[in-house]
């Protein structure tokens, strides 16, 4: 590229960055005019004041892009604010007299951050903050004054950080927040506030997507035609039509007789002439994977479905290699790769690194030592780029602004008494009152000033007036586990992220060192103090017993007079921080050229959060891993004008996007339907990978009813690659059927104690028969059962000191292990209706039954899942048949010997119930055909019972 071309590209990148950083919607554009964060009217709205969001059809085309984006925006915003709106509505008629106060401001490069203290006296015991999900960074909170109590005042803020050291470990605890509007900034440390946090919903996950949708409404993308459903056939992107020869030589993995000729022909393969290249015998890719690679590299919108174990990520990596090989010959911008989680992103970036790609990871939350040096921050530090003159000037202006704020605050607060000159300049005292403080016949306290003599014995340390926060007793371990605010299985959030993510800056304290004693004989001393100040031109004429009250009044008036100036300086600081951000993003775009970056990776949340930076790279291709689990708005909002190619890799038959407000995830709003799913619904062509390389054939047999075209790759048919589970006599799967009743824990989550004991004993049996504990994963649909299983495992005599892999199904998509034990939990008490809750979700069930390589063992009440309702019957009948047709069903009534064997803790013992060649069941279990009349003949109430909230906690929190 010529020097002139580079300058033009840099200017365009700067323009794009500025459009995002300084984005300010116009006030007359409806939904496109909404502010980034919720407004008070949204949170204070009653149920009658709110209107239903637009419907979101997912199987028919849209009339226009405008209508489509508006529906996506309104539904997503409703989800983001609904939890807090509901919580504030509950609070207004509930508890009062709260104690939240602003203590200081942290002046960071992100903007002014208010540090607030709050009471937790509503909790019986001290909250274990290291292992609590309260007040997560990004959470929105609503704040009002104690007196107003959300009648008309509702200030919105987001949690900026929750440091543990010198923060949550204090008594009272401290947390940092950023005001949505600097005009709402509270500067009075004595003003008592109340803060409400909702447990339901996490606005940060929607915040940046909402802004991205507003951006998308103002620009054109070649992919718009797919979004509205008017274009449902394969079309190559413009840059491929212009130059359709791509380098497929990287797909040749094996030596062949005509290897050189084949490699040469593949290095200039015409992707628009016919289908994928014929590489049988030369590539480790199977036919469906080759078709998937060809689909990815040659279409504007490419959709590849990867059932469990079929190598979705491997196929994506091979496609990326083709794209990069071609890019190295032709030049062009980097490809953007996004994944749903940090872990998944790191995995695909590691593959890219191992294949020689130069990568850049956006976002710092990586646990991989291989990826950490490739984050934007580390890359910037390594390059030691010299700051340009403009950036240095911005840093200087930012520093000067902070100094001005500190000077202004010091005039109101600080170590000394307030200055009479400041009071005079603000018009708070008259010239006569000012002069009365400087009588030459009186001595003046040089250190504290003239008010020290005037106050006399009424001068007291300000801390005496501050509320004494009640110290709460600590919990012992047993008590802690019974407390709702302690999750014993949650990683130590505070310590893990303390050093890496802590926001730094200058701390400006809002605290008086000195104050005046309040009169004991006057109940409403504020009015009396105001009268005394107004009636006396000589301040020494005010009685000594009222001087402390008058001094407090003068402090309050000086703060009130200074507040507009402080607010203006805070607003100026916010703008300067935006300038610093824009300058930094613009400089970071230069890293792409200087470091030869080929792949830029981020999470699907980062895709929207860093939209300005990513759009400034002017990428042509965007690949989304696990796209069927990614929210539609996260992808739609990231369709930058430069993008010509969108690649969706995932599986719409596995987990769907999460929706925090259940009714918004259902018809007609469909927030839990992904763009991947909607494109499939609209009959957009896609490729399904067809050869699974994970499960032993007897395990994949259980899965195949959901994927009729799925085939076993030869690698899993070889016993050398997929040996039998030790101690199981060649029985590598079974369904243990029981009728042990479920329970509910204090968190309102389901558990099944007897089923858990059975699983733990079976786990112990497997370990005793030489299976490493790390090779076993226990899955369950319920967090209550997960916690219970972990507790039992840690107490089991034969398992002391081992690490256990126990997860909910929702957290295990994309993972696998040699052996998986699945706990279904649900089993009604005698006389109660059959109910399945989460078990009715086919996508969760598909994930649950497809994680094992060698052995899969399921525990549950089959009668319950078959009788609960029609949809549950249809789902679980397929799974039941997968076991029963292989004679792999074990009723509890036949399991006494097996249970005895499982509880034997001796090492190396072969369970007699599973001797080689022995049958697990004496009688063949019936298939679904022989029980298909269950629902019709059952006299039991089969009404589906919907699960209670999984976390079991109330939907709102009030901080005192």
CB atoms within 10 A of CB 921: 16
User: Closest Cα partner for 646 from 654, 634, 656, 657?
Assistant: 634
Q: Which of 875, 817, 809, 807 is nearest to 851 (CA)?
A: 817
Strands 335-339 and 621-625: parallel
Of 135-139, 653-657, 739-743, the range with the lowest mean pLDDT is 135-139
The alpha carbon of residue 438 and the mean position of all alpha carbons in its chain are separated, in whole angstroms, by 61
> Which sign does the torsion angle of CA 433, 434, 440, 441 carry?
positive
Report the SS3 class of residue 749: coil
Residue 748 is predicted with a pLDDT of 82
Query: Could you give the CA distance from residue 352 to residue 320 in angstroms, rounded to a whole number?
Result: 8
Count Cβ atoms below 10 Å from residue 496 Cβ, excluding itself. 12
Per-residue model confidence as pLDDT tens digits over 233-262: 999 999 999 999 999 999 999 888 787 889
Give the pLDDT confidence score for residue 122 in this predicted structure. Answer: 57
pLDDT for position 953 = 36
Share of the chain above pLDDT 70, in %: 86
678 pLDDT exceeds 60? yes
If you average pLDDT over every residue of the chain, what do you get?
A: 86
Helix, strand, coil shares of the chain as percentages rounded to 5?
A: 45, 15, 40
* pLDDT class of 763 with cuts at 50, 70, 90: very high
Strand 733-737 and strand 711-712: pairing?
A: unpaired
- Give the 3-state secondary structure of residue 752: coil
Task: Name which of 651, 608, 609 is nearest 626 in CA terms.
Answer: 651
pLDDT in tens, 383-419: 865 567 888 999 999 999 999 999 999 999 988 899 9
CA-CA distance, 568 to 545, in Å (whole number)?
37
Of the candidates 659, 589, 651, the residue with the CA atom closest to the CA atom of residue 624: 651
pLDDT of residue 481: 43
Q: For the chain, what is the radius of gyration of the CA atoms?
A: 33
Sign of CA dihedral 221, 223, 226, 231: positive
Q: Which residues of 709-721 are buried (b: 16+ CB within 10 A; e: fewer)?
A: ebebbeebeeeee
pLDDT of residue 952: 36
Query: What average pLDDT does the segment 134-143 reach?
Result: 91
Burial 12-23 (b: 16+ CB within 10 A, else e): ebbebbbbbbee
**What's the CA angle centered on 469, arms 466 and 472, to 5 degrees?**
170
- In sequence order, which residues have a C-beta less than 8 Å from that of residue 801 and are 6 or more positions away? none
- CA–CA dist 560, 426 (Å, integer): 10
* Biggest alpha carbon–alpha carbon distance for the chain: 111
CA 172 – CA 115 distance, rounded (Å): 12
**pLDDT score, position 61:** 95
- Per-position b or e across 392-411, b if 16+ CB within 10 A of its CB: eebeebbeebbeebbebbeb
Handedness of CA 579, 580, 586, 587 (dihedral sign): positive
Cα 343 to chain centroid distance, Å, stands at 13
pTM above 0.85, yes or no: yes
Cβ(749)–Cβ(950) under 8 Å?
A: yes
Instruction: State the pLDDT at residue 131.
Output: 72
Task: Using alpha carbons only, give the angle 146, 149, 154 rounded to the nearest 5 degrees.
Answer: 105
Interatomic CA distance for residues 898 and 918, integer angstroms? 12
- Quick one: which of 799, 709, 711 has its CA closest to 759? 799
- 624 forms beta bridges with 338, 648
Mean pLDDT of 485-495: 38
Predicted confidence at residue 60, as pLDDT, reads 95
User: What's the DSSP call for residue 688?
Assistant: E
| Beta-bridge mates of residue 509 | 104
Q: How far apart, in whole angstroms, are the C-alpha atoms of residue 458 and residue 455?
A: 5
pLDDT interval class at 906 (50, 70, 90): very low
Q: What is the sign, positive or negative, of the torsion defined by CA atoms of 532, 535, 538, 541?
A: negative
Under 8 Å CB-to-CB from 726, ≥6 apart: which residues? Answer: 766, 769, 770, 771
Are the CB atoms for 860 and 774 separated by under 8 Å?
A: no
705: Cβ contacts below 8 Å, ≥ 6 apart: 878, 879, 881, 882
How confident is the model over 921-960, as pLDDT tens digits?
333 445 554 444 443 443 333 333 233 334 333 344 554 4
pLDDT at 896 over 60: no
pLDDT tens-digit series, residues 573-593: 999 999 999 999 999 998 898
Tell me what pLDDT residue 691 has: 98
Which of 216-230, 348-362, 561-575, 891-905 comes out lowest in average pLDDT?
891-905
Per-residue pLDDT at 764:
97
Whether the pLDDT of residue 96 is over 90: the answer is no
């Amino acid at each position: 590229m010529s020097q002139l071309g580079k300058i033009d590209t840099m200017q365009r990148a700067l323009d794009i960055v500025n459009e995002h950083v300084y984005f300010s919607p116009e006030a007359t554009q409806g939904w496109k005019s909404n502010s980034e964060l919720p407004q008070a009217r949204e949170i204070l709205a009653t149920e009658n004041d709110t209107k239903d969001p637009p419907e979101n059809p997912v199987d028919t085309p849209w009339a226009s892009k405008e209508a489509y984006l508006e529906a996506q925006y309104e539904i997503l915003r409703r989800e983001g604010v609904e939890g807090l709106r509901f919580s504030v509505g509950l609070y207004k008629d509930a508890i009062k007299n709260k104690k939240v106060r602003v203590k200081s401001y942290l002046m960071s490069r992100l903007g002014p951050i208010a540090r607030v203290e709050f009471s937790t006296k509503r909790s019986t015991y001290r909250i274990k903050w290291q292992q609590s999900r309260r007040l997560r960074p990004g959470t929105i909170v609503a704040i009002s004054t104690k007196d107003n109590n959300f009648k008309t005042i509702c200030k919105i803020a987001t949690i900026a950080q929750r440091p543990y050291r010198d923060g949550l470990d204090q008594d009272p605890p401290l947390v940092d927040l950023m005001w949505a509007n600097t005009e709402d900034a509270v500067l009075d440390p004595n003003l008592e506030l109340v803060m409400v946090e909702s447990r339901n919903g996490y606005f940060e996950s929607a915040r940046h997507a909402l802004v991205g949708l507003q951006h998308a409404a103002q620009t054109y993308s070649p992919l718009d035609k797919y979004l509205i459903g008017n274009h449902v056939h394969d079309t190559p992107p413009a840059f491929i039509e212009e130059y359709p020869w791509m380098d497929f030589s990287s797909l040749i993995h094996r030596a062949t007789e005509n290897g050189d000729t084949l490699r040469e022909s593949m290095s200039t393969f015409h992707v628009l002439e016919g289908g994928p290249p014929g590489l049988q015998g030369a590539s480790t890719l199977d036919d469906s994977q080759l078709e998937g690679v060809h689909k990815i590299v040659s279409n504007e919108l490419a959709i590849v479905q990867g059932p469990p174990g079929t190598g979705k990520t491997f196929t994506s990596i091979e496609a990326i290699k083709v794209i990069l090989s071609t890019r190295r010959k032709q030049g062009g911008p980097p490809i953007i790769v996004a994944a749903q989680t940090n872990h998944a992103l790191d995995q695909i970036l590691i593959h890219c690194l191992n294949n020689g790609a130069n990568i850049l990871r956006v976002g710092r939350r990586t646990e991989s030592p291989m990826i950490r040096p490739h984050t934007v921050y580390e890359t910037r530090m390594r390059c030691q780029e010299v700051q340009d003159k403009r950036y240095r000037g911005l840093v200087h202006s930012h520093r000067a602004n902070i100094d001005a704020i500190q000077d202004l605050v010091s005039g109101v607060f600080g170590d000394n008494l307030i200055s009479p000159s400041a009071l005079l300049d603000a018009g708070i005292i008259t010239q006569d009152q000012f002069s009365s403080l400087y009588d030459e016949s009186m001595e003046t306290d040089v250190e504290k000033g003239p008010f020290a003599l005037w106050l006399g014995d009424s001068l007291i340390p300000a801390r005496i007036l501050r509320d004494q926060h009640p110290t709460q007793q600590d919990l012992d371990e047993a008590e802690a586990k019974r407390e709702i605010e302690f999750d014993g299985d949650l990683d130590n959030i505070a310590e893990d992220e303390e050093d890496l993510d802590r926001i730094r800056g200058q701390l400006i304290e809002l605290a008086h060192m000195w104050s005046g004693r309040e009169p004991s004989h006057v109940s409403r001393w504020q009015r009396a103090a105001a009268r005394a100040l107004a009636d006396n031109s000589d301040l020494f004429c005010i009685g000594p017993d009222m001087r402390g009250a008058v001094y407090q009044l003068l402090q309050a008036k000086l703060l009130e007079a200074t507040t507009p100036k402080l607010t203006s300086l805070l607003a100026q600081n916010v703008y300067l921080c935006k300038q610093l951000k824009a300058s930094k993003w613009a400089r970071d775009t230069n890293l792409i050229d200087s470091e030869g970056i080929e792949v830029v990776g981020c999470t699907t949340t980062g895709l929207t959060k860093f939209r300005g930076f990513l759009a400034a790279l002017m990428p042509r291709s965007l690949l989304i891993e696990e796209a069927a689990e990614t929210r539609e708005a996260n992808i739609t909002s990231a369709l930058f004008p430069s993008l010509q190619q969108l690649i969706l890799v995932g599986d719409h038959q596995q987990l769907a996007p999460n929706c925090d407000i259940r009714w918004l995830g259902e018809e007609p709003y469909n927030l839990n339907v992904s763009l991947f799913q909607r494109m499939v619904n609209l009959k957009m062509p896609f490729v399904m990978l067809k050869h699974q390389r994970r499960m032993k054939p007897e395990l994949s047999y259980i899965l195949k009813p959901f994927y009729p075209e799925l085939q076993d790759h030869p690698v899993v048919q070889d016993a050398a690659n997929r040996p039998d589970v030790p101690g199981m006599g060649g029985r590598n799967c079974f369904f243990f059927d029981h009728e042990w009743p479920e329970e509910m824990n204090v968190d309102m989550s389901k558990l099944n104690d007897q089923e858990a004991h059975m699983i733990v004993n079976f786990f112990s049996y497997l370990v005793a028969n030489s299976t490493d504990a790390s090779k076993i994963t226990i899955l369950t649909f319920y967090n209550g059962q997960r916690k219970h299983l972990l507790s039992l495992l840690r107490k089991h005599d034969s398992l002391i000191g081992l690490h256990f892999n126990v997860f909910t199904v929702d957290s295990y998509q994309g993972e696998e292990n040699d052996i998986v034990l699945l706990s279904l939990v649900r089993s009604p008490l005698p006389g109660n209706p059959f109910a399945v809750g989460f078990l009715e979700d086919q996508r969760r069930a598909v994930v649950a039954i497809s994680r094992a390589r060698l052995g899969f063992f399921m525990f549950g009440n089959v009668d319950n899942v078959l009788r609960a309702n029609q949809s549950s019957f249809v789902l679980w009948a397929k799974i039941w048949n997968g076991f029963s047709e292989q004679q792999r069903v074990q009723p509890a009534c036949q399991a006494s010997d097996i249970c005895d064997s499982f509880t034997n803790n001796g090492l190396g013992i072969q369970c007699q119930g599973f001797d080689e060649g022995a049958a697990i069941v004496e009688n063949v279990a019936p298939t679904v055909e022989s029980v298909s009349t269950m629902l019709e003949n059952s006299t039991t109430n089969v009404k589906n019972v919907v699960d209670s909230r999984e976390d079991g906690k109330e939907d709102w929190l009030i901080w005192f």
